[in-house]
Chains A and B, each alone.
Chain A
Amino acid sequence: MPYYIFTFKKGDIELELHASNHRFVAYQVEKWLEDLAGMKIGEVSAKAPAQIKVAPERVVKPEPKAEVLETVVPEIKVEEELVSKVEEIVEPEVEEEPVAPPFVKEIPSPIIEEEILTYEQEEEEESSEVVEEVVTPFGVSLEEEKVIEEPVEEFFGEIESEIEEESAVIEEAVFNIAEEEKPAPSKFEIENEDKFQKILKEKFSSLNIAEKFAKPKEEEKTESSDVVFKSYEDIIKVKKPITMLDYLLVTSFYLKNFEMMDRYSLKQINAKAVPHAKKPIDHAVIQDAVSRRFIEVVPDYTGMAEVTEYAITQEGERVALEM
């Protein structure tokens, strides 16, 4: 910020004025110069009259201090005028920028009133007309809305009637289904049953027992009933056992029905079977026959038996006869 110092000396008296207000300092300088030079500012700047304006004459009165207060006010007013003029001299007038009008445009009131009146008039006119012309929220008049609604109602009515008919049909179908017996098996089910039976037959045949079951019982019975077994060899010739299980069943059948033995050991069975089977019957065959319930293990209640004894079951006898 610039700072100005105005110093005046006369003899041993020195005056200083310190200020940052350049206008004030300039004004003081001018006054001192006027008084010192004894001439007006206008005369000094005669060469450039356009730049500097003539200050009005100032009457310098040596006023006593007591009168200062009384005359201060008018002097101040005069000085205010001078200051304003000095400001004009010192600085060019700074024109204030025009204040921009507010952005909001004010509509003149008469125009607004006219608009309101016209709107109100329109409302009155509309209200005086038929009520049905009131516009629905969708921008459609009531008459138009009715016109639209009629076909819509018909459309939905048709749909409802169709639904009712279909529901009636469904109910009848359900009722009929409830009354009917179980439906016949499908072809898929029939085919599966046939396949299942075939598989079972194949499994049984692989066990050799199925083949024997498949033989008509009457024929087997006739075969066995016609032949009179005199010895173990006769039975072997007739039955023709193949597996060790067959030999076990045939031998057990013989020991029970011809030797009258209710129980017998494996050793006793092999004594009969080995000459014909060429190999002994082992415990695995016994276990297999036991698991199939053709042979049963005779429990030792006395605890005196030295070896395990076995007996043929009814199922085993049947199988032996049907061989």
Chain B
Amino acid sequence: MSEYVFKMRKGEVEIELKSDDARFIEEQLDKWREALLNQA
């Protein structure tokens, strides 16, 4: 079964998310993408 790992690092803060649920990981990525790309 595939495992998906989502990491987010900002400065000293690092967030790591592991899951085998592709949809869940995708959702997280979408959110962060929108946030990052929309951020000026």
Contact = CB atoms under 8 A, between A and B. Distances in A.
A24 B2 contact: yes
A14 B10 CA distance: 6
A12 interface: yes
A18 interface: yes
A18 B19 CA distance: 10
B33 to A, nearest CB: 6
A21 B8 contact: no
Contacts of B39: 10
Interface in B1-30: 2-11, 22-23, 25-27, 29-30
A14 B9 contact: yes
B22 A21 contact: yes
Contact of B5 (A10, A18, A31, A35): A18
B2 A19 contact: yes
A9 to B, nearest CB: 9
A16 B26 contact: no
Interface residues of B, number: 24
B1 to A, nearest CB: 9
A21 B37 contact: no
A10 B40 CA distance: 11
A17 B33 contact: no
B37 A16 contact: no
A57 to B, nearest CB: 15
A252 B23 CA distance: 155
A24 B26 contact: yes
A19 B33 contact: no
Contacts of A76: 23
B7 A36 contact: no
B2 A21 contact: yes
Nearest to A13: B10
Nearest to A8: B36
Contacts of B7: 14-18
Contact of B32 (A15, A21, A24): A15
Closest 7 CB pairs of A and B: A18-B5, A16-B7, A21-B2, A14-B9, A35-B37, A19-B4, A13-B10
Interface of A: 8, 10, 12-21, 24, 27-28, 31-32, 35-36, 60, 62, 72, 76, 79
Interface of B: 2-11, 22-23, 25-27, 29-30, 32-34, 36-39
28 contacts: A8-B33, A10-B39, A13-B36, A14-B7, A14-B9, A14-B10, A15-B8, A15-B9, A16-B6, A17-B4, A17-B5, A17-B25, A18-B3, A19-B22, A20-B2, A20-B3, A21-B22, A24-B22, A28-B26, A31-B29, A31-B33, A32-B37, A35-B33, A35-B34, A36-B37, A62-B34, A62-B38, A72-B27
Given A15-B7, A62-B38, A79-B26, 13 more contacts: A8-B33, A8-B36, A10-B36, A13-B36, A14-B7, A15-B32, A18-B5, A19-B25, A20-B3, A21-B4, A24-B26, A28-B26, A60-B34
